[in-house]
Amino acid sequence: MTFRFPRVVGHRGASADAPENTLAAFRLAALQGAGAIELDAKLSRDGVPVVIHDATLERTTNGYGAVAAQDFVALDRLDAGTWFDHRFAREKLPTLRAVLELCAEVGLELNIEIKPCPGRAVETAQRVVEDVRRFWPGARPPPILSCFQAEGLEAARRIAPELPRGFLVDDLDGDWRSTARQLDCVALHVGHRALGERAIATVRAAGLQVLAWTVNDPARARALLEWGASAIITDRPAAIHAALA
Ligand code: G3P
Ligand code: MG
């Protein structure tokens, strides 16, 4: 079956207007017209999938040190919103489960970026897949799993071949074609500066859809879609959605 994904994807939610990777940012993305969100999933020390970009807590929470050094009970006490604005002081570091349930509630589709803490790619993929199987309604289009590390996608393919996969790359300099083929990916998620009309045609000719990140300029988003990109991953879903209306 052909993979289809919404054109406007909130990068870590509506992360220009709310603290990234929080339920507030994901809800706002839906309100701003995103059809899907992207998030970053990693594991607490005791193996609970949580949603945070960095390997360490300092930038986006009031905690300290490595995410992988804390059990979930400690991560669950953190404030993940005040760093952005005191209005978001109640935002916590979400579990993947909470975001899966929110997506079902508000009708968002989902791109889960497997963003493992060092050395935990396989385990992270396993736990993410377990949560998707338990908490994502079977009737909805399944989340697409993406990862910069082939190891994470290989584990996902082995455990859950039915979930679509996208290989994440900064640019097109490496051997993306054979990696994506080996991992049986449906899409290549490419840093948008590497993309132009010919580059998009090249990726599509390899049988892969193009998801472009992170695009915050509406004119650029329009051009990428006209050239054949399938989706725009953006911090500013409102602006991109308005430009495409
Ligand atoms: O998934 C696209 C993008 O999120 C990859 O980079 O660093 O924002 O997770 P990063
Ligand atoms: Mg990401």
**Domains of the chain listed by start with CATH number:** 8-244 (3.20.20.190)
Please answer whether residues 63 and 150 qualify as being in contact, where contact means their C-beta atoms are separated by less than 8 angstroms.
Answer: no
| 205-232 tens-digit pLDDT | 999 999 999 999 999 999 999 999 999 9
Please say if 86 is a catalytic residue.
no
Write out the two tokens for 235. Answer: 């911090």
Residues β-bridged to residue 56: 66
Tokens of 107: 């009708």
189 catalytic residue (yes or no): no
Provide the token pair at 182: 């080996």
Please give the distance, rounded to the nearest whole angstrom, from the Cα atom of residue 190 to the centre of ligand 1: 9
Atom of ligand 1 nearest to the CA of 53: 9
What are the two backbone dihedrals, phi and then psi, of residue 21, each rounded to the nearest 5 degrees? 55, 35
**Cβ-Cβ contacts under 8 Å for 93 (sequence gap 6 or more):** 21, 22, 50, 51, 52, 61, 75, 76, 78, 80
Q: Give the chain's count of helices (H) and strands (E).
A: 9, 9
- Percent of the chain residues topping a pLDDT of 90: 98
> Is the confidence at residue 2, as pLDDT, over 90?
no
Q: Whose CA is nearest to atom 2 of ligand 1?
A: 213
Ligand 1, atom 1, lies closest to the CA of 113
Asked whether the predicted pLDDT for residue 47 surpasses 90, the reply is: yes
Q: Which residues contact 112 (CB under 8 A, 6 or more apart)?
A: 39, 41, 96, 128, 132, 143, 144, 145, 146
| Confidence bin at 65 (pLDDT 50/70/90) | very high
Per-residue model confidence as pLDDT tens digits over 160-196: 999 999 999 999 999 999 999 999 999 999 999 999 9
